[in-house]
Amino acid sequence: MSNKKTVKQKRGVGQKIAWFFAMFSYLCALSSAVFAYYWKIDNGTQSPIFASALACIFFFITCGFVLQYISNTHIPTFEKAE
């Protein structure tokens, strides 16, 4: 058995920035979904603008997922342990 204690590491500046942009990406995906919904009501689904809105939703969700994963990753420190 190991007696090592797990220490919760604080997020670095880059990880905090990645988390902020992940949340921003999710917000953009939500706003794109609202836009696509109202565009569908007014103009139908045969428009290239509707297809672009769906592509934006996919893009923002996947960007948010990747950035959130980066912000939650345990990045080791390279300081010399004494």
What pLDDT, on a 0 to 100 scale, did the predictor assign at position 6?
56
Flag residues of the chain having pLDDT under 50.
none
Say what angle helices 48-72 and 13-43 make with each other, to 10 degrees.
Answer: 160
> DSSP state, 82?
-
For the chain, the domains span 13-72
Rounded CA separation 14/52 (Å): 30
Task: Write out the two tokens for 15.
Answer: 């990880």
Distance CA 57, CA 28 (A): 8
Question: What confidence score (pLDDT) does residue 22 get?
Answer: 96
Predicted pLDDT of residue 64: 97
- Identify whether the C-beta of residue 53 lies closer than 8 Å to the C-beta of residue 37: no
